[in-house]
Amino acid sequence: MMKAHKRRLLEKIKIFYFFLAITVLPVSTYSQITFDRVYGGTNTETAYKVEICEDGGYITAGYTRSWGPGFANMYLVRTNKYGEQIWDFVEGGNMVDRAYSVAVTKSGAFVAVGVTDSFGAGLEDILVVKVDENGNKIWRKTFGGAQAESGWDIRETSDGGYIITGTTNSWGAQLFDAFLLKLDKDGNQQWRKLYGGSLYDGGYCVRQTPDGGYALLGQTLSHGQKGLFYFVRTDKDGEVLWEKNYGGPEEEEGRYFSLTNDGGFILIGKTQSKGAGDEDFYVIKTDENGVMEWDATYGGDKKDSGKSIEPTNDGGYIMTGSSRSFNWLVPRVWVLKVNSTGVKIWEKDFGNWNHDHGHHIMPTDDGGYIATGHYNRDEAKAEDLYLLKLDSQGNWNPTATDFAVTNIVRPLESDCSSPNAKVTVKVKNYGNVALNSIPITAKITGMANKTLSQTFNHNLMPFQEYNFTFDETINTTGGGNLEIEATVNVLQDVYLDNNNLGKNISISSNLAPTVSLGADIQKDGGSPAVELDAGLGFSSYKWSTGETSRKIMADNSQNYWVEVKDNNGCTASDTINIIFTSISEISKLSTTLKLYPNPSGGIIDLSFSMDADRPINLKIFNHGGQLIHQEQVITSGGRHQQKINFQGYPRGIYLLNISDGVNAATTKFILK
């Protein structure tokens, strides 16, 4: 109900401003997820392609130098719609292997294409790998001759197979030719065609056309001394229907194209013949026969290279690439939005002022955009794979709040009945800042009719989740059906669709047992171990320590829990927190934690005090809530000091957390 009310209010606000400005407003950025994330290890990672998965998440394709056996390895990263990594996939041998493109198949699997020095018959071969929805390899194929081949783009075709374009120096080519390679669903070659002349010709992007044929875009030196856009249209068997060249006396290169709603094409690449600088984005709109309708350049006085363009719902286009112009000494990720005739609407730049490139961008279902490339943490260090989710105006919000209900944990289906059944919901912070003091409600209908309301008072960092149990219980005695709808209410939440979750549950008529470990216990560090007793009358016991006896001895500071089961198979559980420490110890950890200098250029002096010998867990999180460093520090009583080296990490705000398993302290520091 609250969600519907917010949406109606938002629509009224939109209508008001529509008439106030007498202009058509862009898509609302409300309910648009945005993020700015990097992925990878200590060496170089980059992505050349991003595709949108059926669940709204993303898959990127590129290479890694941090993992795998070779100098570089094919690297796929799968994330959810919030940019949280689900899995990654590394493929390669002892040499260089890269992915340049990936396609999402109708079955939910992924197929990637690139180049390999490690496998195959020649100097370089086309590498094609298919993985399932969980990142497990299904098959790997290589194609090529004695010389060098590269696969630059792959698409699934209407028959369930695949079409690939790239460059070849083996298959009858005079120097290098562009090619189309048609595979069946199992990766077996069905046919191969070459395109070009006596000099260099290459294919970088391919699409299947509505009539079942194909179109490819690349560069030709055979038809232009320094290089031209090379656009080829074929039938379903790869036979040429027409080919077009675009450009001037200097170098041009076509990199990417997409089909437009009017049956034509939109192309992007770079030009040195036109524009304002050394090299500019070059965009060409053609009709269905490749006849140019308009062209446009974008850039400044230095090198600006266009890599990707896609139509948008408003009839315009979104594009990305890299730019060195506009007082930028090094490349920046550059994103531009233009209207249907190429007139610029807005432009944005992103990166870390070192060496950052945008390689691909796609419109998303929420009216925003997803872009990928690489991001350089520091000019002396390596690049990271970069994934950038933008709203409809090309912005990402570093302070966005997005709090979600992800699961109803308790009661479970077929739980035994109880006069005091607990209701537990799992919540997660998908936003870019820490959250607390969030109202949570659970509306229960069916055999029990009750609404539980409570405030979530835990400090939840970005991408952390928590099982929240309401203090108030519900009566499920006698069993029956329940419907539970859990809702969180966050002011200025950017994504309302995950604010509530419903679940239907059937409760058994068998009465659940009860178990109690008593109240939480705090004792001095020198105290003896505490005996915990789950009680008589149960058929089995399972403790958090792994023990299965009725009683255990608790000698460490931690939360202990036990789950018991009766002869009907009904279960019950309880938790107790045991603390072996003094009050002075609790206060000393948080009051003595210091960092210097802050802000820092990368070398940080950490100090804190302890009253007793104890191992300390040290964790550092970036501004996106990602854990980027952790270690265990062995301390002795008194003052502890050490240096932490964060040279090479991006400038920004970080959180340092130290904990001895019972007590914790957190502080903020800035890398400048």
Could you write out the three-class secondary structure of 231-267? EEEECCCCCEEEEEEECCCCCEEEEEEEECCCCCEEE
Instruction: Count other Cβ atoms within 10 Å, centred on residue 185.
Output: 15
Instruction: Give residue 648's pLDDT.
Output: 67
Q: How many domains does the chain have?
A: 4
Kindly report the CATH number assigned to the domain that includes residue 445.
2.60.40.10
Note whether 525 and 502 are same-domain residues.
Answer: no
Domain containing residue 549? 521-580
- C-alpha 665, offset from chain centre: 29
Q: Across residues 295-316, what is the average pLDDT?
A: 96
Which H helix or E strand runs over 589?
A: helix 583-592
| Cα 403 to Cα 430: distance, rounded to the nearest angstrom | 6
Residue 256 lies in a domain: yes
Phi, psi (deg, nearest 5) at residue 468: -100, 120
- The Cα 290–Cα 35 span in angstroms is 37
pLDDT at 581 exceeding the cut of 70: no
CATH of the domain at 300: 2.120.10.30
Least confident segment among 278-292, 394-408, 592-606: 592-606
Task: Please report which confidence band the pLDDT of residue 176 belongs to, taking 50, 70 and 90 as the band edges.
Answer: very high
Would you say residue 385 lies in a domain?
yes
Question: Residue written as tokens 């090198």?
Answer: 303
228 belongs to a structural domain: no
Q: What is the mean pLDDT of the chain?
A: 88
- Output the pLDDT for position 2: 38
Same domain, yes or no: 569 and 587: no
Q: What is the pLDDT of residues 527-561, one digit of tens each?
A: 578 899 999 999 999 999 999 999 999 887 788 99
Phi, psi of 403 (to 5 degrees): -110, 130
What integer pLDDT is reported at residue 173 of this predicted model?
Answer: 65
Domain contains 39: no
Beta bridge partners of 407: 426
**Residue 8 pLDDT:** 43
pLDDT for 28: 44
How far apart, in whole angstroms, are the C-alpha atoms of residue 295 and residue 542? 70
**424-461 tens-digit pLDDT:** 999 999 998 899 899 999 999 999 999 999 999 888 88
Amino acid 70 reads G
Q: What was the pLDDT predicted at 18?
A: 36
Q: Are 588 and 573 within one domain?
A: no
Is the confidence at residue 411, as pLDDT, over 80?
yes
Are 444 and 483 in contact, with CB atoms under 8 Å apart?
yes
**Angle (nearest 5°) at CA 98 between 95 and 104:** 145
Pairing type for strands 416-417 and 500-511 reads: parallel
237 within some domain:
no
In the three-class reduction of DSSP (H, G, I as helix; E, B as strand; rest coil), residue 20 is classed as helix
**Contact between residue 554 and residue 543 where contact means Cβ atoms under 8 Å apart:** no
Q: What's the burial of 370, exposed, middle or buried (CB within 10 Å: 0-12/13-18/19+)?
A: buried
From 355, 378, 396, give the residue that closes a domain.
396
**Residue 172 pLDDT level (bands cut at 50, 70, 90):** confident
Residues 646 and 528 grouped into a single domain? no
23-27, 560-564, 604-608 — which is least confidently predicted? 23-27
340 and 367 assigned to the same domain: yes
Residue 242's CB is within 10 A of a number of other CB atoms, namely 12
3-state helix, strand, coil in the chain (%, to 5): 5, 55, 40
CA–CA separation, 375 and 349 (whole Å): 12
Per-residue pLDDT of 198-253, as tens digits, reads 899 999 999 999 999 999 999 999 987 799 999 999 999 999 999 999 999 999 99
At a CB cut-off of 8 Å and minimum separation 6, what does 526 contact?
Answer: none
As given in the structure block, the two tokens for residue 265 are 């094409």
What are 360's strand-pairing partners? Answer: 372
Q: Does the pLDDT of residue 15 top 50, yes or no?
A: no
H helix or E strand, kind and range, residue 103: strand 97-104
Please say whether the beta carbons of 527 and 579 come within 8 A. no
Write down the pLDDT at residue 13.
38
Confidence of residue 33 (pLDDT cuts 50, 70, 90): very high
Same domain for 445 and 391? no
Least confident of 72-76, 397-401, 598-602: 598-602
**C-alpha to C-alpha distance for 440 and 232, rounded to whole angstroms:** 58
Co-location of 390 and 300 in the same domain: yes
Sign of CA dihedral 339, 341, 346, 351: positive
| 475-506 per-position pLDDT tens digit | 999 999 999 999 999 888 888 889 999 999 99
Give the residue-averaged pLDDT of 110-128: 96
Q: Are the C-beta atoms of residues 471 and 376 closer than 8 Å to each other? A: no
Based on the fold, state whether residues 381 and 425 are members of the same structural domain: no
CB of 592 closer than 8 Å to CB of 608: yes
Per-residue pLDDT, 520: 84
Residues forming a β-bridge with 532: 552
User: What pLDDT shows up at residue 540?
Assistant: 96
Write down which residue in 454, 478, 511 finishes a domain: 511
- What token pair was written down for 543? 């403790």
**In Å, what is the CA distance from 153 to each residue of 66, 265, 369, 566?**
24, 17, 21, 60
CATH of the domain at 643: 2.60.40.3080
Strand partners, 659: 617, 664
Instruction: For residues 461 and 429, state if they share a domain.
Output: yes
Give yes or no for a cis peptide into 311 (omega within 30° of 0).
no
**Do residue 270 and residue 387 come from a single domain?**
yes
Exposure letters 559-583 (e unless 16+ CB within 10 A, then b): ebebbbbbeeebbbbbebebbbbbe
Q: What Rg, from alpha-carbon coordinates, does the chain have?
A: 30
Q: Which of 487, 511, 535 is the last residue of a domain?
A: 511
Distance spanning both ends of the chain, measured CA to CA: 45
Read off the pLDDT band of 196 (50, 70, 90).
very high
Does residue 435 sit in the same domain as residue 361?
A: no
The pLDDT tens digits of the residues spanning 75-108 come to 999 999 999 999 999 999 999 999 999 999 999 9
Are 465 and 505 in a shared domain? Answer: yes
* 449 contact partners, CB below 8 Å, separation of at least 6: none
> What average pLDDT score do residues 8-28 get?
38
With cut-offs at 50, 70 and 90, classify the pLDDT of residue 612: low
pLDDT at 16: 38
Q: How many angstroms separate the CA atoms of 582 and 298, rounded? A: 66
CA separation for the pair 358, 333 (Å, rounded) = 5
